[in-house]
Structure 1
Amino acid sequence: MKTPNPRIKVDGPADFAQLLPFLVGHQPEDCIALHGRIATQSGTGPTMTLSLPDDPATWQATAAAFAAKFTRITHEHGHPDILDIVVFLCRTPRPGQSAEETAEALRPLADYFVDAFTDLGRAPVMSTIALVDNRWWAYECHLPGCCEGEPLPSPDDPTSVAAQLARHGWTPGRRTSEITQEFQPEEPEDAEDLRRALDNEGAAWAQYCANPSDDDTFLQGTHALVETAIRDFGAGANELAHDITARLIHGLNDEWARDHGLEHIEDDELPHARRLWAFLARRAIPPYEVAAVPALTLLAAVAWRQDDIPTARYALKRALTLDPDDDFADALHEAINHEVDATSLLPIARKAKAERHARAEQKGRA
Structure 2
Amino acid sequence: MNVSEKKLTISSLANLAEILPFMLGHYPDDSIAFHCPGPNFIDGPSMTCPLPDDPAHWQQIAESAACNFMHYAQSKGQGLDCNIIIYLCREPRPGQTAEETAELLRPVADWLVNALTEHRGVPQQTIGLVAGRWWGFACDLSGCCEGEPLPALDDPNSVTAQLIRLGYSPGRRTSDIVQEFQPIDPASAPRLLQALKDEGDSYSRQRTQPAGQDAALAATRQLLEGAMRDFRDGATELADDIAARLIHGLQDNHARDHAFEFAEDDDLPHARRLWTYLARRCVAPFTGQAVPVLTALAWIAWRQDDKITARLALKQALTADPDYAMADILHDAVNQGADPQGLLAIVRDERAQRHKRTQHQDTTAH
Q: TM-score range by the shorter chain?
A: over 0.9
Secondary structure of the residue aligned to 1:216 is helix
Q: 1:167 to 1:323 in 2, by over 3 A?
A: same
Q: Distance in 2 between matches of 1:298 and 1:336?
A: 14
The residue number in structure 1 matching 2:85 is 86
CA distance in 1 between counterparts of 2:42 and 2:80 reads 11
Gaps of 5+ in 1: none
User: Where does residue 31 of structure 2 map in the other structure?
Assistant: 31
Counterpart of 1:269, as a letter, is D
| TM-score normalised by length of structure 2 | 0.92
Q: Is the 8 A contact 1:117 1:124 kept in 2?
A: yes
Deviation at 1:22, TM superposition (A): 0.9
Aligned with residue 150 of structure 1, among 136, 148, 151: 148
| Distance (whole Å) between structure 2 residues aligned to residue 28 and residue 266 of structure 1 | 30
**Partner of 1:220: helix, strand, or coil?**
helix
The structure-2 alpha-carbon separation of the partners of 1:210 and 1:19, relative to structure 1 and needing over 3 Å to count, comes to farther
Distance 2:209 2:128 in 1: 54
**Distance in structure 1 (CA, Å) of the matches to 2:116 and 2:139:** 19
Cα shift at 1:263: 0.8
Q: Give the partner amino acid of 1:105.
A: L
Give the alignment of 1:1-366 within 5 angstroms.
7-38=7-38, 40-42=39-41, 44-80=43-79, 83-120=82-119, 122-187=120-185, 190-207=188-205, 213=211, 216-364=214-362, 365=364
- Structure 2 counterpart of 1:31, one-letter code: S
Kindly provide the amino acid, as one letter, of the partner of residue 221 in structure 1.
A
- How many residue pairs end up in the alignment? 363
Quick one: distance in 2 between partners of 1:85 and 1:18?
Answer: 16
1:302-349 Cα distance to aligned partner (Å, 9 max, x none):
112222222112111111111122221122222222222333333122
Q: Distance in 2 between matches of 1:153 and 1:28?
A: 19
Given the superposition, is the C-alpha separation of residues 107 and 208 from structure 1 closer, same or farther in structure 2, using an over 3 Å criterion? farther
Alpha-carbon distance between aligned partners in 1 of 2:42 and 2:309, rounded to the nearest angstrom: 27
Specify the code of the residue in structure 1 equivalent to 2:305.
Answer: D
What's the C-alpha RMSD, in Å, of the aligned pairs?
2.2
Instruction: Output the TM-score relative to the length of structure 1.
Output: 0.92
Q: Secondary structure at the match of 2:128?
A: strand
> What code does the residue aligned with 2:8 have?
I
Contact kept? 1:4, 1:22, Cα under 8 Å:
no
Alignment partner of 1:29: what SS?
coil
Partner SS for 1:54: coil
- Please give the secondary structure, in 2, of the residue aligned with 1:144: coil
Please tell me the residue identity of whatever aligns with 1:308: D
Give unpaired runs (5+ residues) of structure 2: none
